[in-house]
Amino acid sequence: MEISVKTLNLETVKSPCLVVGVNDKRKLTDSAKQIDTLSKGFISKLLRRGDISGDIGDSLILHDVPGIKSERVLLVGCGKTNEITHQNFQTIITNASSTLSNANIKNAVICLADLDSKVLSNSMQIRLSAEALHQNNYRFSELKKEKSPSLVKVTLHFADKKSAAMKKARLAVQIGNAIGLGRNTARDLGNLPGNICTPTYLARQASNYDKSYAKLKTTILNQKEMEKLGMGSLLSVSRGSRTPPKFIVMQYSGGKKADQPYVLVGKGVTFDSGGISIKPGAAMDEMKFDMCGAAGVMGTMVTVNELKLPINVVAIVPSVENMPDGNASKPGDIVTSMSGQTIEVLNTDAEGRLILCDALTYSEKFKPKAVIDVATLTGACVMALGAHPAGLLSNKQKLADQILAAGTESGDRAWQMPLWDDYQDQLKSNFADMANIGGRKAGMITAGCFLARFTKKLNWAHLDIAGVAWLEGAKKGATGRPVPLLTQYLMERCGKQYSL
Ligand code: BES
Ligand code: MN
Ligand code: ZN
**How far apart are the C-alpha atoms of 83 and 56, rounded to whole Å?**
12
Q: Which long-range contacts link 439-443 to residues 24+ away (Cβ below 8 Å)?
A: 442/380, 443/378, 443/379, 443/380, 443/381
Residues 190 and 139 grouped into a single domain: no
Q: In angstroms, what is the span from residue 11 Cα to ligand 1's centroid?
A: 56
**How far apart are the C-alpha atoms of 260 and 360, rounded to whole Å?**
16
| Nearest to 190, CA basis, from 106, 266, 110, 81 | 266
Q: Which long-range contacts link 323-328 to residues 24+ away (Cβ below 8 Å)?
A: 323/240, 323/241, 323/242, 323/271, 323/273, 323/275, 324/240, 324/273, 324/274, 324/275, 324/276, 324/278, 324/348, 325/240, 325/241, 325/242, 327/239, 327/240, 328/239, 328/240, 328/275, 328/276
Q: In angstroms, what is the span from residue 236 Cα to ligand 2's centroid?
A: 13
- Give the percent of the chain with pLDDT over 90: 97
pLDDT tens, position by position, 267-276:
999 999 999 9
User: Is the residue at 348 inside a domain?
Assistant: yes
What is the amino acid identity at position 4? S
**How far apart are the C-alpha atoms of 305 and 313, rounded to whole Å?**
10
Q: Which pLDDT does position 458 carry in this prediction?
A: 98
Residues 345 and 215 grouped into a single domain: yes
Q: Looking at the predicted structure, is the pLDDT value of residue 24 above 90? A: no
Ligand 1, atom 7, residue with closest C-alpha: 379
**Which atom of ligand 1 is the closest one to the Cα of 269?**
1
Pocket perturbation via mutation, ligand 1, pick of 271, 276, 348, 378 by most ligand atoms within 8 A of CB: 378
Band of the pLDDT at 82, cuts 50, 70, 90? confident
Does the annotation mark 106 as catalytic?
Answer: no
- Contact (CB, 8 A) for 451 and 356: yes
Residues 72 and 127 grouped into a single domain: yes
Residues 145 and 201 grouped into a single domain: no
271: CATH: 3.40.630.10
Q: Looking at the predicted structure, is the pLDDT value of residue 25 above 90? A: no
pLDDT tens, position by position, 474-499:
999 999 999 999 999 999 999 999 99
Residue 361 exposed, middle or buried by CB count within 10 Å (0-12, 13-18, 19+):
buried
Q: In angstroms, what is the span from residue 101 Cα to ligand 1's centroid?
A: 37
15: Cα separation from own chain's centroid? 32
**Cis check: omega of the bond before 331, within 30 degrees of 0:** no
Q: Looking at the predicted structure, is the pLDDT value of residue 147 above 90? A: no
User: Is the residue at 123 inside a domain?
Assistant: yes
Residues 252 and 156 grouped into a single domain: no
Residues 370 and 234 grouped into a single domain: yes
Does the annotation mark 481 as catalytic?
Answer: no
Q: What is the DSSP string of 446-459?
A: HHHHHHHTT-TTS-
pTM for the model: 0.98
pLDDT tens, position by position, 344-361:
999 999 999 999 999 999
- Split into its structural domains, the chain has a count of 2
Relative to the alpha carbon of 274, which ligand is closest?
2
**Which atom of ligand 1 is the closest one to the Cα of 436?**
19
Q: In angstroms, what is the span from residue 271 Cα to ligand 2's centroid?
A: 9
Q: Which pLDDT does position 366 carry in this prediction?
A: 98
Ligand 1, atom 3, residue with closest C-alpha: 378
Contacts of 491 (CB under 8 A, 6+ apart): 175, 307, 309, 498
- Contact (CB, 8 A) for 293 and 390: no
Residues 91 and 197 grouped into a single domain: no
User: Is the residue at 177 inside a domain?
Assistant: no
Q: Looking at the predicted structure, is the pLDDT value of residue 149 above 90? A: no
Residues 152 and 200 grouped into a single domain: no
**How far apart are the C-alpha atoms of 180 and 484, rounded to whole Å?**
9
Residues 284 and 153 grouped into a single domain: no
Q: Looking at the predicted structure, is the pLDDT value of residue 26 above 90? A: no
Q: Could you give the 3-state DSSP secondary structure of residue 50?
A: coil
Q: Which pLDDT does position 300 carry in this prediction?
A: 99
User: Is the residue at 176 inside a domain?
Assistant: no
125: Cα separation from own chain's centroid? 18
User: Is the residue at 464 inside a domain?
Assistant: yes
Q: What is the average pLDDT across 155-182? A: 97
| Nearest to 311, CA basis, from 65, 78, 100, 495 | 495
Q: In angstroms, what is the span from residue 323 Cα to ligand 2's centroid?
A: 10
Q: Which pLDDT does position 188 carry in this prediction?
A: 98
**Which atom of ligand 1 is the closest one to the Cα of 379?**
21
**Angle of helix 30-38 versus helix 42-49 axis, rounded to 10:** 110
**Which atom of ligand 1 is the closest one to the Cα of 438?**
19
| Nearest to 166, CA basis, from 122, 110, 120, 118 | 122
**How far apart are the C-alpha atoms of 246 and 153, rounded to whole Å?**
38
Pocket perturbation via mutation, ligand 1, pick of 234, 278, 345, 349 by most ligand atoms within 8 A of CB: 349
User: Is the residue at 266 inside a domain?
Assistant: yes
Residues touching ligand 1 (Cβ under 6 Å) are 272, 290, 347, 349-352, 376-380, 382, 437, 443, 466
152: CATH: 3.40.220.10
How do strand 153-157 and strand 18-22 relate by DSSP bridges?
A: unpaired
Backbone conformation region of residue 256, classed left if phi is above 0, alpha if psi is from -120 to 50, else beta: beta
Q: Which pLDDT does position 135 carry in this prediction?
A: 97
pLDDT tens, position by position, 234-257:
999 999 999 999 999 999 999 999
User: Is the residue at 500 inside a domain?
Assistant: no
Residues 423 and 486 grouped into a single domain: yes
Q: Domain span at residue 189?
A: 185-492
Decide which of 116, 145, 160 is a domain's last residue. 160
Q: Looking at the predicted structure, is the pLDDT value of residue 184 above 90? A: yes
Mean pLDDT value across the chain: 97
User: Is the residue at 175 inside a domain?
Assistant: no
Q: Which pLDDT does position 52 carry in this prediction?
A: 92
Relative to the alpha carbon of 284, which ligand is closest?
1
Q: What is the average pLDDT across 216-233? A: 98
| Nearest to 387, CA basis, from 242, 286, 238, 262 | 286
Residues 350 and 444 grouped into a single domain: yes
Cα end-to-end span (Å), the chain: 23
Question: Residues 353, 413, 453, 481: which is the catalytic one?
Answer: 353
Q: In angstroms, what is the span from residue 84 Cα to ligand 3's centroid?
A: 36
Residues 304 and 217 grouped into a single domain: yes
Question: Residues 153, 279, 369, 396: which is the catalytic one?
Answer: 279
- Contact (CB, 8 A) for 355 and 320: yes
Band of the pLDDT at 116, cuts 50, 70, 90? confident
Going along 56-157, which residue ranges are E strands? Answer: 59-63, 72-77, 107-111, 153-157
**Which atom of ligand 1 is the closest one to the Cα of 469?**
8
Which helix (H) or strand (E) segment holds residue 133: the answer is: helix 122-136
Q: What is the average pLDDT across 375-400? A: 98
